[in-house]
């Protein structure tokens, strides 16, 4: 199998160029003011300009209003939106842009019902549940809760690091491994050595499956 890697929380053009050089397949830009990795629409547009055609640009939004989503689409022109909050299926689908739906793994969650409701073309990103925190928590959840077979892209997030991503790829077999804080030297600052190690470890683990 193969696995793609998404480096999320990119905050500058320089970081975007570094992550691409390291082999990232997708880059995530967080347009959510409460995040330590927040970039505004103008900064996101600057970063977008240095993202090459072989790398997908993903803009992460959390409970944004319609006007902000439309501004992101117009100014940043992302390949994918990522809805990481409490957005309804109708809200996510109205923009006619491919999107990733984040599912925070709370107790009692019905994964099949979520998948059926959102029909996210970009896939479903599974992240740890932390009340009042929408991603980027550094927490890991029980991977055994995930379905063994899916007909949609499965994106694994939540507490991944260069040290555990190989195990995650072997056990979960995700289509995409997503990391943010696990490759940082400080919030919002990606560490080049950690980024390279994460991508290398993920992709090497996928080869042997």
pLDDT for 127-142, tens place per residue? Answer: 885 656 555 556 688 8
Tell me the CATH number for domain 4-207. 3.20.20.70
pLDDT at residue 142, as a whole number:
82
What pLDDT score does 11 carry?
A: 98
Low-confidence ranges of the chain (pLDDT < 70): 129-139, 209
Distance CA 94, CA 96 (A): 6
pLDDT of residue 131: 57
pLDDT for 110:
87
Is the dihedral angle over the CA atoms 26, 32, 34, 38 positive or is it negative?
positive
Instruction: Look at residue 181 and give its three-state secondary structure.
Output: helix
| pLDDT on residue 6 | 98
pLDDT in tens, 188-202: 999 999 999 999 999
Confirm if 32 and 69 have CB atoms less than 8 A apart.
no
| Local structure of 28: helix, strand or coil | strand
Q: Looking at the annotation, which residues are catalytic?
A: 8, 127
- Report H helices in the chain: 13-22, 41-48, 66-75, 89-93, 111-118, 165-172, 192-207
Q: Specify the 3-state DSSP secondary structure of 190.
A: strand
Q: What is the dihedral of CA 2, 147, 126, 139, to 10 degrees?
A: -100
Domain boundaries, the chain: 4-207
Q: Contact at 8 Å (CB) between 176 and 123? A: yes
Q: Which residues contact 98 (CB under 8 A, 6 or more apart)?
A: 79, 80, 81, 121, 122
């Amino acid at each position: 199998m193969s696995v793609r890697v998404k480096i999320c929380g990119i905050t500058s053009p320089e970081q975007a160029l570094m992550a691409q050089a390291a082999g990232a397949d997708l880059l995530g830009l967080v347009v959510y003011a409460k995040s330590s990795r927040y970039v505004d629409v103008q900064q996101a547009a600057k970063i977008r300009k240095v993202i090459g055609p072989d790398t997908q640009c993903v803009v992460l939004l959390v409970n944004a209003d319609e006007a902000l989503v439309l501004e992101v689409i117009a100014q940043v022109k992302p390949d994918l939106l990522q809805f990481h909050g409490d957005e309804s299926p109708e809200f996510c689908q109205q923009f006619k842009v491919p999107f990733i739906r984040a599912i925070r793994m709370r107790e009692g969650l019905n994964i099949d019902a979520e998948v059926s409701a959102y029909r996210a073309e970009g896939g479903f990103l599974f992240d740890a549940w932390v009340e009042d925190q929408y991603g980027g928590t550094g927490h890991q959840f029980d991977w055994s809760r995930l379905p063994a077979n899916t007909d949609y892209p499965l994106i694994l997030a939540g507490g991944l690091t260069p040290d555990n991503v190989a195990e995650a790829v072997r056990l979960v077999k995700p289509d995409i491994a997503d990391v943010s804080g696990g490759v940082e030297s400080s919030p919002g600052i990606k560490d080049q050595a950690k980024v390279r190690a994460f991508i290398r470890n993920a992709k090497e683990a996928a080869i042997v499956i």
